[in-house]
Amino acid sequence: MNRNKIWLYAAAAVFGAVAMVVGGFVVTGEDYRMISGLLIGLGAAVFGLGTANGIGSLSISKAQFAEMSRRKQIEMADERNSRIKDKVGAALNKIVIYALCCLLVILGFMGTPVIVIVMITSILLLELVLAITLTSYYSRRM
């Protein structure tokens, strides 16, 4: 990988460690529990990503990185992979819509406040508007 980014990954790991320490030991008290948990969680994520990317950049040679980049470009341009991604996306969209509809029916029978049902319904309406807009856009583009 690019060895110039090692310093960036090291800085991310240090920033994550500092955020975890601040969240765990400095920001204490009952009033700041949410901020403390947020600092610990985000710090752990940034520390893990910085450490993993740093180790990855040290362990992969330039030749291996060039080969991996070349293979990735081939995979990105492959027509078969593009069609598979399109079919998977359509199937996932259909499943999510059915799941949201079932959730709306269940919440309606449970006596959930109307505002919650309206918010979830707005997600379904957003999906409908996006489907119409994107279909129109891609039909003109292709």
E strand residue ranges, 4-138: none
As a whole number, mean pLDDT of residues 117-133 equals: 91
What pLDDT score was predicted for residue 104?
Answer: 93
What pLDDT score was predicted for residue 3?
Answer: 62
What pLDDT score was predicted for residue 68?
Answer: 83
As a whole number, mean pLDDT of residues 70-99 equals: 85
Buried-exposed string 76-114: b where 16+ CB fall within 10 A, e elsewhere: eeeeeeeeeeeeeeeeeeeeeeeeeeeebeeeeeeeeee
pTM: 0.52
The domain limits of the chain are 3-75, 78-141
